[in-house]
Amino acid sequence: MLNVIASTMRLSMKRKIYQPHFTLSLHGIFKLCQAIDGHSRSTELKLTMELGTDVVLMNGPLPILSEKDKSRTVMVVSWVTSNIFWFSNKKSVLEMPWEEPIKNECLLSKILRWLVASVILGRISCISPEKSNCPGTLQTFLNRTYERVEMVDSHVANERLAVIILYLQDRVKRNSDTLPSVVTALCLLLLDRCSKQDLVDSRGQIERLCSKIHCPAESNPAWRWHYYQPWRDPALQHTAIERMEVEQACRSLLIIFSNTFSTGLPPGVPILSLGDVERSGLFQWERDFMVKQPYS
């Protein structure tokens, strides 16, 4: 059954954006994970685990619209992540002759993209289409999404999702194309009705950094989930220096958010603050190096 679902989804991904696609709801994905997880892990079930993981990722992100959605999303992402670690050192047996060439993106990166897109799409669905299509900065996008939020967010549920995003981001190879989406999801989860005093105190600094970052790709009406690689807007063109400035702002926000949840570190472990990074001159060195490069 999983083989049929995975094959159908693979064919569905080849359809045009305006054509109907075969997808499962979050409830369906949640039940599927529960059914597979009802069996103990073993080498014989490795194919089942891989097929289940593929079904979740090929199904695409599912907008988070309620507190129940958040709980289910945490369970699904945790299940997929544990599967990835379980069979990461084994050669994949999920190889089909009609499958497209796999891009150099690890499964952890895919589930990270899946999760942040679910957070962003859930918030976009709560606002009017003309406001969700944001050609400006991330700060402009956040201001528009804060204007109308129907559900009362649970700080605990939001912080659980944020911690998972930070963990996955720390484990995957840095990708400047997806960083704006990652920090957008963190902002949506942590800044509105913020319960962390550190973030409240850093609000002005966070807003200045968000003003340097462009809107997430998911806010573009043409955006579409791609299993094999992140979606890129062909009309969006930035110079190397502009991309570097956006990446530095994203990395700065990641430092701020990470430090907010660093209380569980063992005593004596130093915490690298954003001020430490700025005083080190790293960002300025990167800017100077980029300016000296030809064709930048």
What is the count of structural domains for the chain?
1
Report the pLDDT value the prediction gives residue 128, as an integer from 0 to 100: 66
pLDDT value of residue 99: 42
Q: Mean pLDDT in the chain?
A: 81
pLDDT of 242: 83
Q: What's the confidence (pLDDT) of residue 80?
A: 94
* Residue of higher predicted confidence among 144 and 41: 144
**Identity at 253, one-letter amino acid code:** L
Question: What pLDDT score does 263 carry?
Answer: 53
The pLDDT tens digits for 233-290 are 776 777 778 888 899 899 999 999 988 887 555 555 556 677 766 666 666 656 655 6
H-only helix segments in the chain: 2-12, 26-37, 46-59, 67-87, 107-124, 129-132, 138-146, 155-171, 179-190, 197-201, 203-210, 240-260, 274-280, 282-292
Q: What does the pLDDT average to over 205-230?
A: 90
Q: Which domain holds residue 131?
A: 2-292
Q: Is the pLDDT of residue 139 over 70?
A: yes
What pLDDT score was predicted for residue 115?
A: 97
Rounded to two decimals, the pTM is: 0.85
Whether the pLDDT of residue 136 is over 60: the answer is yes
